[in-house]
Amino acid sequence: QANPGRYIRQDIVDKVILRDLPSLYGISDTRELYSLFTTIAYNSGGEFSLEALSKQSQVPKNTLKKYIEYLEAAFLIKQVKRIDQNGKRFKRDNFFKIYLTNPSLRSALFTPITSTDEMIGNMVETAIFAQWMHRDWFTPYYARWSNGEVDMVGLSDTLKPIWALEIKWSDRYFEKPKELKSLIKFCQENNIITPIVTSISKEGEVEYADVHFQFLPSSAYAYTVGKNTLDKKINK
């Protein structure tokens, strides 16, 4: 374990994908499963369709759904479903997002990224979603429509949007909240007054267009979600 990357790759990822899952589910072609997982890992936090994912990973569509279920059962990935700007589910889940359950899995498989890397935003998003995944009683959604998107939405028991989170790896929106057009539209249409926006280092409340944005550094937000989750589990 002196080399964490090699330990995660060989002792966790390789053993689960190349040995445990094949023996458990009778998978004969482990190359397809590994190809799918590495495709998802590289693009963690991205939006997929079955067609696009099949093309990227070279895994047939009819096999893809089963493999995604297997990888979810092994707690390696989490699929997140889409809602529209009014918080409504789609009849067919043609598009969905997939996150690694731990962003370090990507670094173990590929070259580690830096804070200025193009993919850092997706990894920050993955890290935050990973903290929410420990709440087995909570189902996160993301909202996307023709010209907008909100990273995470919480729904009530009656499936109405009650809170929204926009994950940003930037401090610019603290000074320019008007650029958060999709979040503003979503909050106004769903009567959400205080959405949370993450940043690199900015913290505080900013009001714009009758929306009270609560800014928190991404690291602090991820820590808070993780700690609150642990506290809830202890007190259950």
Q: What percent of the chain has a predicted confidence (pLDDT) above 90?
A: 78
Note the pLDDT tens digit of each residue in 51-78.
999 999 999 998 999 999 999 999 999 9
Q: What pLDDT is stored for residue 135 in this prediction? A: 93
Q: What is the pTM of this model?
A: 0.91
How many CB atoms within 10 Å of residue 45?
A: 25
Note the pLDDT tens digit of each residue in 100-130.
999 989 988 888 899 999 999 999 999 999 9
Taking a C-beta distance cutoff of 8 angstroms, is the pair 153, 87 a contact? yes
How many CB atoms within 10 Å of residue 212?
A: 13
Q: Which residues contact 173 (CB under 8 A, 6 or more apart)?
A: 179, 180, 197, 199, 213, 215
| Greatest Cα pair distance in the chain | 57
**Mean pLDDT within 147-172:** 96
Q: For the stretch 158-171, what's the b/e string if a residue is b when 16 or more beta carbons lie within 10 angstroms of its beta carbon? A: eeebebbbbbbbee
Note the pLDDT tens digit of each residue in 9-43.
777 777 888 888 888 888 888 889 999 999 999 99
Note the pLDDT tens digit of each residue in 182-227.
999 999 999 999 999 999 999 999 999 999 999 999 999 999 999 9
Residue 151 has pLDDT above 90, yes or no: yes
Domains of the chain, CATH where assigned: 1-112 (1.10.10.10), 120-236 (3.40.1350)
Residue 5 has pLDDT above 70, yes or no: no
Q: Which residues contact 42 (CB under 8 A, 6 or more apart)?
A: 106, 109, 110
> 1 pLDDT band (50/70/90 cuts)?
low
